[in-house]
Each structure stands twice: as C-alpha cells, then as structure tokens.
Structure 1
Amino acid sequence: MSGPWAQAINRTAQLLRDNTAKIIRMEGITPNTAPRTLFSFRTPEELKQYVVGSDTDLGGNSTARLDHHPDGYGRFWGEMRLDVKAGLEGKLRPGYAGFRNKSRPTLFGQIYDDLSLYKYLALRVRAAGDPPTRNSYFVNIQTDGPVQTDLWQHRLYFEKEGEWEDIFIPISDFVLTNQGDLVQRQVKMMSEKIRTIGVSILGGKSGTQGRYELGIQSIRALNEEPESATDVAST
C-alpha cells in the first residue's frame, strides 16, 4: 500500500506509539521539556515531508527548490525576482519563495507540535547565494487558528559568512502576520497546536533580487539559554 492513505496509517501508528511511550514515562504528570528535534533535513527521505512554493504560483518569476546535498543537509535555493509575467504588472506582489512541512493527517485528525513548554526555536543553517539576499529570510509558523492565512513570523538573522551556525529565536518574539502584512491587533500564539513550520525569502519586502541559497540541517525546540550561538533577541 502506498500514497496518502498509507502515509496516514503510518502516522497514526507512530502517534499511538508515541502516546503509549508517554504514558509509560508518565509524561502526563511530569512534562518532558528536553531539547527536541522537530524537523531534520539530513536524508532524501526526510525532505519528502516538505512542500515548496514561490510567486510563480500566482504569476511571478521567482524560482524555488529544496533538494538534498550529499553532505547531509537540505539546500533551499533558486532565483529571487521582482518582475511578473506579461499582463500582471501592478496586480500582484512578487518576490517570495519558501518551504514548510506538509500537513500530517492521521485517522484521528491532524498531528500538531506542542511548543508551549519551550522558549526557543533553533535552526541549524548556512546562508549562501548573492550577499544581498541573505537579509531577506523569515521563519514562519502556522498554528491551528481560525484564520488559515495567518502566519507567525520572525526574521532570520545571520552572523557568519557562509558558515554553519545555530540561530536561536525566542518563540515569544514571533509576530502575527496575514498575507505578508503585520496584523495590528496582536494575539498570543497558540503554541500548543503548531501545524507547520517553514522558511521563506521575501525579496519583495526589501526590494532584493538575485540568486539565493540556504543550507539547513534541523529545526529544534529547546529551553536552555544560548551562549556561543546566535540569539536573535540581542541582534
């Protein structure tokens, strides 16, 4: 058996195994707040759980790919462009590309990530591509909120030039946006029901175009204070 139905059954079995393990460990009584890897990009199989998109879906010309590098990481890359297809000038906002994890349905409903007991989202990343594009990346979180177009966003700041680094983002610092615009009336994130996490490059916001590339190994949730790693709260 293959396809979406088989995937849903596999996720259901994994959910049952995880919940059984939690009961055995009595996590319902003592919550587990140990560092947790949410998503990994180290193998071709792991990359199948992500979906990629760009402004080409609406008539733009930016390109986007997420593929596996032999050294064991994901490579998100393409060309950021601010022009649009003929006849669409002034009718849309071009200049974006991104990826996120796919929705994870089971026989009992969706799988969500509960980050309510964590302080930081940590990304192991490396910025490459044309230098102007490196300041246009954002981390995006979608919750199980009532408005499906809502996204919680935070800019991804880099300190190292072309080197791997761990970037720590306080979860409380994410801001609510809708279709790329800041929502004036901010509300608390529903961090106990995280549907998707992803990264986007928004050249349209900064007027930036060119060749972009982001290496990514993992997305984690943790509580310890970052020391040598980059804490964007102090940037």
Structure 2
Amino acid sequence: MFKFLRKHLTVPERPSRLSILNFAKPDAFPRIQTTSDSTLGGYSTAYLEPYRASADTNLVGHFHGNLNQTLPKGETKVKQSGWAMFKTKNRIQDPNAQFKPFYLFKSQANFWWDWSPFEVLHMRVMNLTPNRKFMVNIQTDTMSRTDLYQHRLFTNPLSSGSSDSNASPVWENIFINLNEFVLTNRRHRSSSISI
C-alpha cells in the first residue's frame, strides 16, 4: 500500500526548460498586445508582427515602430513621451478586472503565468537600434497595477568581436536570473519585497 502511494504521490521532476513565448509558433502572436505613448495622447507607434527572413529560417517576432518624444497637446500630466512596448494579454480581458490581495479560486486571478517554476529568463534577441534602452518587466498580481519587477536588457547591437560600426547585428542569447529583478512602483525601487 505504501509503495503504491509513494509511487503515485511523488512530486514530478521539474523540466529543465519551460517555454513562455515561442515566436517560431504562430499561435504566440495573438497572445501579445502592443502599446505606446499614443494611449496617453502621444505620437509613437508600435507593432509586433511575424517575420521570416527566408523560407529556410524560423519565424521570429519583429517589434518595430516609431518613437516620438513630442509631448501630447493639452495633457499637462504627461511629462515624458517616446516609449513603446509589447506584453502578453491579461487572461481576463475585462478592462475592469481588479488586482486583489487574494483569490478564492485560481480562475479569478488576472495572471498569465505562474513564475515559481522558473529560475532564469532566457531570451534570444537582435537589437537593430543602437543607443536605445530596453527594460524587461514582469507584472505582479497585486493590489497595485503599477507594481513591476524590472531588469535592464543589455544588448550588443553589433556583431561580436567587431569594432566596425557598419557591422551587422547578430542574434544574442541573454540570460537574466529572476532573483535579479527589482520590484518597482511607478519606476521607484521597493526594496522590501523580493521575487
């Protein structure tokens, strides 16, 4: 009896690699939404589209658009402009969905993934825009919609080992330990909570 229970109650081994988004699969694109400062009256644009360089290459996500730092007219609260982003859509599409301190059922939560099985975020990126700053954000499921775990995304837009400014960008594998993300609220660091 105990052998049977031990066999069927043991915790399964965690996989060494879990995929969050794989743009090589077309079903990843409907799960993404883009936004920019245009939601606040700004003039930037953002698009994330499937792209294949040639018939024998994998499908990738091409994030592009125009950044415009012109402040929106008549919006005195907006102090900075010129940003764009893409993110996964909330599981609950209701715009009035609220973040709560706890949920009676997991189905009520407004999360997309449970990050507890993850230790490292691995991204494969190509930076075509030198001198731009990029951030990776993980939205929290808390009472505050402005809570974000953030980490700077450092990329090398030029091919490795080349000092030529006309060198072509290359694909880079970037690894970020999840415990290196910093909890922020409205871009201010909150040191009391860690991921």
Q: Same fold (TM over 0.5)?
A: yes
Are residue 156 (structure 1) and residue 153 (structure 2) matched?
yes
Alpha carbons of structure 1 residues 69 and 82: separation in structure 2 relative to 1, 3 Å? same
Which is strand-richer, 1 or 2? 1
Cα offset, 1:61, TM superposition? 1.5
Matches within 5 A, 1:13-52: 29-52=11-34
Among 136, 140, 145, the alignment partner of 2:137 is: 140
Matches within 5 A, 1:111-122: 112-122=112-122
1:144 maps to a residue whose letter is D
Whole-Å separation in 2 of the counterparts to 1:171 and 1:101: 18
Are residue 92 (structure 1) and residue 79 (structure 2) matched?
yes
Alpha carbons of structure 1 residues 27 and 84: separation in structure 2 relative to 1, 3 Å? farther
- 2:182 match: 175
Whole-Å separation in 1 of the counterparts to 2:107 and 2:75: 43
Among 81, 86, 91, the alignment partner of 1:104 is: 91
Q: Secondary structure at the match of 2:45?
A: coil
Cα offset, 1:178, TM superposition? 2.0
Cα offset, 1:35, TM superposition? 0.6
Among 51, 56, 65, the alignment partner of 1:69 is: 51
Are residue 124 (structure 1) and residue 144 (structure 2) matched?
no
5+ long unaligned stretches in structure 1: 1-24, 190-235
Alpha carbons of structure 1 residues 30 and 128: separation in structure 2 relative to 1, 3 Å? same
Which is helix-richer, 1 or 2? 1
Whole-Å separation in 1 of the counterparts to 2:190 and 2:28: 37
* Aligned partners of 1:122 and 1:167 also within 8 Å: yes
1:171 maps to a residue whose letter is L
1:77 maps to a residue whose letter is H
5+ long unaligned stretches in structure 2: 1-6, 54-58, 93-105, 159-168
Cα offset, 1:54, TM superposition? 0.4
Matches within 5 A, 1:220-235: none
- 1:8 match: none
1:140 maps to a residue whose letter is N
| Percentage of matched positions with identical amino acids | 31
Cα offset, 1:39, TM superposition? 0.8
Deviations 1:173-193 (A, max 9, x none): 1111223x223443122xxxx
TM-score by length of 1: 0.61
Higher relative CO (Cα under 8 Å, sequence separation at least 6) belongs to 1
Alpha carbons of structure 1 residues 46 and 87: separation in structure 2 relative to 1, 3 Å? same
Pairwise CA RMSD: 2.6
- 2:99 match: none
Alpha carbons of structure 1 residues 184 and 115: separation in structure 2 relative to 1, 3 Å? closer
Alpha carbons of structure 1 residues 26 and 81: separation in structure 2 relative to 1, 3 Å? farther
Cα offset, 1:70, TM superposition? 2.3
**Size of the alignment, in residue pairs?**
161
Cα offset, 1:92, TM superposition? 3.2
Higher mean alpha-carbon deviation, 95-104 vs 113-122, is at 113-122
Whole-Å separation in 1 of the counterparts to 2:116 and 2:40: 35
- 1:227 match: none
Deviations 1:179-223 (A, max 9, x none): 3x223443122xxxxxxxxxxxxxxxxxxxxxxxxxxxxxxxxxx
